[in-house]
Amino acid sequence: MNLLDVLRIYRQDIWSERVALVRHADARWDLDVLRRSGHFDEYQARQSRPVFGCKYIVAFLGEKGPRSRFVGVYAVLGVSGEIPPWPAGFPYPQMAPGKYRYDLAKLGDFAEVEDRLVIDWGPGTRAWVQRLRVDKSKHVIELLCSPALTAMQGPLFVVVHGAGFKVPRRLSAKSFTRVLEGRASAAGIAQGKVSVHGLRAGAFVRKGTRG
């Protein structure tokens, strides 16, 4: 299962545009603090160089090693050289304010997998802005369980092209893909035809129910 497979579940019409993958990581600042305080978008909008020469960005927070957690897709609407002071309450007012400020609009289509979808960025973590390549998309490591389903008991019941089966609540993306392909094959679904319609806990199905 790769990143583009998952993103296409939620939007299919933007991936032919120029899209950049952006991995934010800075040992000087706790970027999760910016997320929780509601200031991450302002942080992301300010850059020291004109790095977002694209129509959309797919943003991640860097974790240990190449692990990268998805935080959203943004449309790039424009850029300005006028840099206002950091807003009131910004957790790190001593942070350099940047030289370019992008007008970014977050797309709401991907909210279901924000902070849950984790990919392997690969060995080049210093290359923090990369072009999204349709022919070589990054691998999904796991899809973390949503808080709403964490308290639910029992396995999920997943329907893929009309074939229903139960899956364990938490699987790595690789293991889940293997389960899907095996179950789909047993149900007579051709290999490569397993399209997953959303998943809320350990798989990718938008509408799953308890078994």
Clarify whether residues 73 and 27 are in a common domain: yes
**The pLDDT of residue 147:** 55
* φ/ψ bin of 98: left (φ > 0), alpha (ψ from -120 to 50), beta (otherwise): left
Count of C-beta atoms within a 10 Å radius of residue 21: 23
Give the domain-ending residue among 102, 117, 142. Answer: 142
At which residue do the structure tokens 């609407």 appear? 77
Q: CB-based contacts of 128: which residues, under 8 Å, 6+ apart?
A: 22, 23, 24, 25, 62
Share in percent of the chain as helix, strand, coil (round to 5): 20, 30, 50
Distance CA 120, CA 21 (A): 12
Contact criterion met (CB below 8 Å) for 193 and 184: yes
Clarify whether residues 153 and 125 are in a common domain: no
How many structural domains is the chain composed of?
2
Clarify whether residues 123 and 49 are in a common domain: yes
Domain that holds residue 22: 3-142
**The pLDDT of residue 136:** 85
Give the domain-ending residue among 142, 172, 199. Answer: 142
Residue by residue, pLDDT tens for the chain (211 residues) are 789 988 998 999 999 999 999 999 999 999 999 999 999 999 999 999 999 999 999 999 999 999 999 999 999 999 999 999 999 999 999 999 999 999 999 999 999 889 989 999 999 888 999 999 888 889 988 877 665 544 444 444 444 434 444 444 454 555 555 555 554 454 443 344 333 333 333 333 333 333 3
pTM of this prediction exceeds 0.85: no
Clarify whether residues 187 and 135 are in a common domain: no
At which residue do the structure tokens 């992008």 appear? 102
Clarify whether residues 204 and 113 are in a common domain: no
**The pLDDT of residue 14:** 94
Contact criterion met (CB below 8 Å) for 198 and 9: yes
Clarify whether residues 116 and 157 are in a common domain: no
